[in-house]
Amino acid sequence: MKQDTTKISKFLSYVLRHKPESIAMKLDADGWVAIDTLLLQASRYGHKLNRVILEHVVETNDKKRFTLSTDKSMIRAAQGHSSQQVSMTLNEQVPPEFLYHGTAIRFQGSINQQGLIPGNRHHVHLSDNQQTALTVGARHGKPVVLIINAKTMYEQGFNFYLSDNNVWLTDHVPAKFILAK
């Protein structure tokens, strides 16, 4: 079941974060889609899912990447969107003094020059602990954890948001706010 769960989670991430149009699906501005629509469109494009499997994947996903509506009729990705269909309304939050960003050492030169940019995503993703950041960074190569002076950024007018799965989001982190490089 683990392999199937991983494969389904990757499929859900792809369609709910990046390419809903790949299965002729439309997300609302906050990234929500009816589960019935998702299941129907997934089936039409060769992905056999049912509600029980879907809920199992959502509940057991170690990164809590997906959110179900309270009545379990809708689903969305918690964060990480690159789809132009989505422009989530996020509530501004006051960040802790420091946040962390995990990346690969090979990206440090670029980061030192331009700071952290969202790339093809809507936001830069930050963690509230170094271990999570280290795990994220290791996915991209030899990891390094950058310490972000989030409180100072906030005090200087930068906005921070907290996603459904407790990932901190911001539009950009200028290099001057990165303490450990």
Q: Is 10 helix (H, G, I), strand (E, B) or coil?
A: helix
pLDDT at 99: 97
pLDDT band at 82 (very low <50, low <70, confident <90, very high): low
Q: Above 70 in pLDDT, residue 47? A: yes
Q: Which amino acid is at 169?
A: L
| Residue 23 near residue 37, CB atoms below 8 Å | no
Q: What is the CATH number of domain 5-77?
A: 1.10.10.970
Q: What is the CATH number of domain 98-180?
A: 3.20.170.30
Contacting residues for 97 by C-beta, under 8 A, at least 6 apart: 149, 150, 151
pLDDT tens for residues 98-134?
A: 999 999 999 988 999 999 998 877 789 899 999 989 9
- Boundaries of every domain in the chain: 5-77, 98-180
Q: DSSP letters along 82-147, please? A: --TT------B-PPPS-EEEEEEGGGHHHHHHH-B--TTSSSEEEBSSHHHHHHHHHTTSSEEEEE
Q: What is the mean pLDDT of residues 56-84?
A: 83
Q: Which amino acid is at 4?
A: D
pLDDT band at 63 (very low <50, low <70, confident <90, very high): confident
pLDDT at 140: 82
pLDDT tens for residues 128-179?
A: 999 989 988 898 889 999 999 999 999 999 999 988 778 899 999 999 999 9
Q: Above 60 in pLDDT, residue 1? A: no
| Residue 134 near residue 34, CB atoms below 8 Å | no
pLDDT at 89: 67
Q: Above 90 in pLDDT, residue 38? A: yes
Share of the chain above pLDDT 70, in %: 92
Q: Above 90 in pLDDT, residue 25? A: yes
The CA-atom distances, in angstroms, between 79 and each of 75, 153, 176 are 12, 21, 25
pLDDT at 68: 92
pLDDT at 88: 64
Closest CA to 13 of 121, 90, 88, 103: 121
Contacting residues for 62 by C-beta, under 8 A, at least 6 apart: none
pLDDT at 120: 76
